[in-house]
Structure 1
Amino acid sequence: MNKITAFASYYVRLLLLCTTPWVWADAPTEVTLQLKWQHQFQFAGYYVAKELGYYRDAGLEVNIMPAPPTDTDTMTKVLSGGAHFGITHSGIIKQRLEGKPVVALAALLQSSPYCWLVRKDSAIFNPEDFQGQRISLLTKGEDAELMSLLDHRQVNVEVVDHVGKSNLDAWLAQEIDAMQVYVTNEPYQLSQLGIDYRLVCPKRYGLNVYGDVLFTSQHLIAHSPEVVERFYQASMRGWRYALLNLDHALAITQKHYAPNKSLEQLAFEADQLKPLIMQSGNSIGAMSDARWRVITELYHLEPKKLAMHFDGFIYRPAPPHSPMNLSWMMVLALVLMMVAVPAYIHLFYCARHSKKA
């Protein structure tokens, strides 16, 4: 009976180990998330996932890398292997249709945060009013819906590039008439300066595209699908918490990532972004084939390329609580249980039979 007891004890301990997530891992899998800008509330869900241990619970050690203002190209970093995940704009669909192996995991913003900024006393109210005006673009590759807004109205503008001066300074000096802005940034700066302004946004005119798209490479999905799934689930968990617990998310963002920003400024960012993230009928990060196909039309992309490259562009996460979401250790635990329990019962009855004999 001592051997039987030892056998049973061994398998009980083994099963307990298997059902404790990640206890067998020598070290968490280290991955890098490349942001498209510097630290701010725009990325709060990822900060929360890291600081509250959601990534750690998923067996991941995530390095969150900010982007310098002079190098916001996350696409190259991910495709070159410099980062595993990145944040980009809806222009990612153009990269995909050009044959680049990128996959959209989630669209955190259901509507684009980019608008045209014009002075309050200007004569610019509608897209047609941009005719002949001087404009400046903020981020290369992320201006498609803004330029489409003008192109669809057949408006001609002068695109002005400034050397040694920020776009906002040029706008304040009236060297340009309109500039591309991110609704959480320049409007806050202007409100602090007491300067009136007006925003002309594409969404108002039917050009409603995704923003802040979380993406990865097809290579990572093919070779490490569990890493991608775990990162996706932990990230969405972080965003859900952040939006339901704004005060805590703001405190985490300021303390660990953006100490140069006041809570007031971060709260302004949150107020502007929350309605773009949480829209009726959509779960956080939701995407649809139909919406992406409409976006390709807005960007004047070729239907032939869409047919060739669109399949596989949208990531399909495993449904919550589905078998695909179980770790390999949990699966191993079930297998061991199926083997161990019958074996234990067999040996137990053999031992009883031998004792009676």
Structure 2
Amino acid sequence: MSKYFAVLLLLIFSTQIQALEKVTLQLKWTHQFQFAGYYMAKEKGFYQEEGLDVIIVPADPNNPNVDFRVLYGQAQFGVFHSGLLKQRLEGKPFVALAALLQSSPYCWMVKAQSGIYVPRDFQGKRISLLGHTENGELLMMLQRAGVNTDSMLLYSGKKPFDDFIAGKFDAMQVYSTNEPYQAQQLGVATREICPKQFGLNVYADVLFTTEAMLRDRPQQVMRFRRASLKGWRYAMLHLEESLAVTKANYATHKSLAQLAYEAEKLKDFIRVSGIPIGKMSAAKWLWIAQLYHLDVSQFHEHKADFIYSEVKQDPASLSWVLIIAAVLTLVCIPMYIQLIFSRKNKSHLR
């Protein structure tokens, strides 16, 4: 009998392995705690439970705009910024699946002795050049305070962090989890002036896919999203374990202290009271469209297809049960019949 059970387990296991669907997740930056939820979804087997074999690809820091890899099918899923909406209105068929950061971690970093405390203090100051559309809220924050950003002096050198520390300009655009830590390690006192502090809460780190993926593989999209959000919930509840996994298997180039600093900073962007992790709303996306002066009528035309709405049923999730049930049926019935006959033979022999 033990032989039959061994065969049964082998069949079930091999069926699960063969059925895993390979998909690629393209990150928007290099490996760091910023993507810990995806790491934990992979490491804890959440993706595998959904029938997925996920490859997580970091971005090239010299070319971090990775949306084209998803657009052209080199990756099935990606992480981008709130500029994804602009891309959609410009004709790229992107679908926002979840917003992992409820606010943007992009901030201005100034030295503690600079005298810059609020946006209006930036008037006449020299700032670093904004290189990406994802941090447009930094300029928007200044403009809403009445600062004439068109007349501001811009630093555009090749070593912004070093030159900021050397005092060659006044305010540097930073990702709240990275450059402030570097300045702290050098003993340079700084503070951050962030859009979030002044009511500009735009989404960041938006998980997305394409309309083609959603049309052709809706269940795969649902399962990937579900496992990813499960990974993020796990990461937030088990920070020490998530830090250890991130350090050991992904961000090997960063110290544990640096990753811990990043986790401490990001958790308030991810976990917001009253908002489930990853939750998006049409009202906030509309506000983002208005903030960036996008065509509101276009937004209303696209919002139903742009903002993901989970389908009600997931037949694919039942497929595992059906497969296992079928295997059990095929294997157990012959075993049962053989058991009956063996008992009858024994009784005859007696």
TM-score (norm 2): 0.84
Q: Does structure 2 conserve the Cα–Cα contact (< 8 Å) formed by 1:171 and 1:178?
A: yes
Q: Bigger shift: 305-314 or 177-186?
A: 305-314
- Residue 327 of structure 1 is aligned with which of 297, 318, 321? 318
Residues 152/21 of structure 1: CA separation in 2 closer, same or farther (3 Å cut): farther
2:167 is equivalent to residue 179 of structure 1: no
2:154 is equivalent to residue 160 of structure 1: yes
Aligned partners of 2:316, 2:276: CA distance in 1, in Å?
A: 19
State the Cα deviation string for residues 268-317 of structure 1 (Å, max 9, x = none).
11100011101111111011111111111111111221122222111123
Q: Bigger shift: 251-260 or 298-307?
A: 298-307
Residues 332/140 of structure 1: CA separation in 2 closer, same or farther (3 Å cut): same
Q: What does 1:1-357 correspond to in 2, within 5 Å?
A: 23=15, 26-137=18-129, 139-157=131-149, 158=152, 160=154, 162-165=156-159, 167-318=160-311, 323=314, 326-330=317-321
Aligned partners of 2:304, 2:154: CA distance in 1, in Å?
A: 38
Q: CA deviation at 1:177?
A: 1.3
Q: CA deviation at 1:203?
A: 1.4
Alignment partner, residue 349 of structure 1: none
Consecutive unaligned residues in structure 2, runs of 5 or more = 1-6, 331-350
Q: CA deviation at 1:139?
A: 4.6
Q: Does structure 1 conserve the Cα–Cα contact (< 8 Å) formed by 2:77 and 2:207?
A: yes
Aligned partners of 1:41, 1:22: CA distance in 2, in Å?
A: 33
Aligned partners of 1:162, 1:245: CA distance in 2, in Å?
A: 41
State the Cα deviation string for residues 104-159 of structure 1 (Å, max 9, x = none).
11100111111111111112222111122221146512112111112223422436
Helix, strand or coil at the partner of 2:184: helix
Aligned partners of 1:261, 1:139: CA distance in 2, in Å?
A: 24
Residues 112/189 of structure 1: CA separation in 2 closer, same or farther (3 Å cut): same
Q: CA deviation at 1:17?
A: 11
The residue identity in structure 1 corresponding to 2:309 is R
Aligned partners of 2:46, 2:81: CA distance in 1, in Å?
A: 25
Aligned partners of 2:69, 2:116: CA distance in 1, in Å?
A: 38
Helix, strand or coil at the partner of 1:73: coil
Aligned partners of 1:332, 1:159: CA distance in 2, in Å?
A: 65
Consecutive unaligned residues in structure 1, runs of 5 or more = 1-12, 341-357
Aligned partners of 2:139, 2:13: CA distance in 1, in Å?
A: 49
Helix, strand or coil at the partner of 1:151: helix
Higher helix share: 2
Q: Does structure 2 conserve the Cα–Cα contact (< 8 Å) formed by 1:48 and 1:238?
A: yes
Q: Does structure 1 conserve the Cα–Cα contact (< 8 Å) formed by 2:107 and 2:174?
A: yes
The residue identity in structure 2 corresponding to 1:290 is A
The residue identity in structure 1 corresponding to 2:191 is R
Root-mean-square deviation (Å): 2.7
Aligned partners of 2:89, 2:322: CA distance in 1, in Å?
A: 38
Alignment partner, residue 355 of structure 1: none
Q: Bigger shift: 21-30 or 185-194?
A: 21-30
Helix, strand or coil at the partner of 1:32: strand
Q: CA deviation at 1:239?
A: 0.8
Equivalenced residues, count: 322
Aligned partners of 2:162, 2:304: CA distance in 1, in Å?
A: 44
Identity across aligned pairs (percent)? Answer: 50
Q: CA deviation at 1:205?
A: 1.4
The residue identity in structure 1 corresponding to 2:24 is T
The residue identity in structure 2 corresponding to 1:136 is S
Q: CA deviation at 1:241?
A: 0.8
Q: CA deviation at 1:318?
A: 4.5
Q: CA deviation at 1:43?
A: 0.3
The residue identity in structure 2 corresponding to 1:271 is E
Aligned partners of 1:325, 1:115: CA distance in 2, in Å?
A: 42
Residues 249/329 of structure 1: CA separation in 2 closer, same or farther (3 Å cut): closer
Q: CA deviation at 1:191?
A: 1.1
Residues 256/227 of structure 1: CA separation in 2 closer, same or farther (3 Å cut): same
Aligned partners of 1:329, 1:49: CA distance in 2, in Å?
A: 19
Aligned partners of 1:154, 1:22: CA distance in 2, in Å?
A: 64
